[in-house]
Amino acid sequence: MAGIPEHLLKRAAEAREKAAASAAGATAAPAGDAGERIPADLLDRNKSAVAVAEKPGAAVVAAPTSNGVPFGAGPGGHTQRLLTVVKSGSIQDVKAVPVDKVHTWPHLLGIEFVASLACTAFVFMFSWFVNAPLLQAANFNQTPNPSKAPWYFLGLQELLTMFHPMIAGVTIPGMGIIALIFAPYLDRTTSNHPEDRKFMTSLMTVHLMFWAVLVIIGSFFRGPGFNFVFPWREGIFFEL
């Protein structure tokens, strides 16, 4: 049970002293002073509360009642009691929710701009110290053997050795592009975590691995006449 505040005890003591002085000075109080006297039931309740506060662990003394209703009760016999003292501050538990989205400007564009400057500086310094390996002027009377496309087109050149030009150059690349176009409509997941987007992750992985395998075969396993060779036997017929 919580103790009685000091200011209430002080007011009760002053009221008792005033009541005792009034009782000693006159046998009957004037009508104007009747409202300043403390009722006896309130004094008894205060004494009981003081006794409980001074003796921790003592039993709580019940307030005097009249016909089953405590003195000082409100309409209908309702009473109020102080349960606990709440410390000042917010009673709402505020927790920061992690957000996996940021604004494009300035967060994303700022990082991309700095990355582009870094890449430009690296290429500039690299070209300053390392000369580009340029070949001799092309001779249309002597075609190099094997004649290979740039590495980013070697996948198509490899497909041309396996399928008809219509299938290798139009059908297969077109189906891959159409699949990538419809991928966002097939997977409507809003999460950006890879574990929540297994379909998109698998589709992009298959696409990249399929093209990477074709480029590797065309780069290192194709020799003169664009025939299949083993690089550890015939050598590597590939130039950047």
Set out the domains of the chain in order of their start, with CATH numbers.
6-77 (no CATH), 145-234 (1.10.287)
Give the whole-angstrom CA distance, residue 13 versus residue 38. 11
The pLDDT value recorded for residue 171 is: 93
Closest by Cα among 176, 168, 164, 169 to 209: 176
pLDDT, one tens digit for every residue, the chain (240 residues): 456 778 778 888 888 888 888 777 654 444 444 445 677 777 777 777 777 666 655 554 455 555 555 555 555 555 555 555 555 565 566 666 666 777 778 888 899 999 999 999 999 999 888 887 777 888 888 888 888 888 889 999 999 999 999 999 899 989 988 988 888 888 888 887 888 888 888 888 998 999 999 999 999 999 888 899 999 988 888 876
What CA–CA distances, in Å, run from 149 to 22, 136, 137, 220, 240?
A: 117, 17, 17, 13, 10
Give the whole-angstrom CA distance, residue 102 versus residue 117. 22
Cis peptide, bond prior to residue 146, ω within 30 of zero? yes
What CA–CA distances, in Å, run from 218 to 30, 46, 141, 208?
A: 118, 99, 24, 15
What's the pLDDT tens digit per position in 73-128?
555 555 555 555 555 565 566 666 666 777 778 888 899 999 999 999 999 999 88
The pLDDT value recorded for residue 99 is: 66
The pLDDT value recorded for residue 158 is: 92
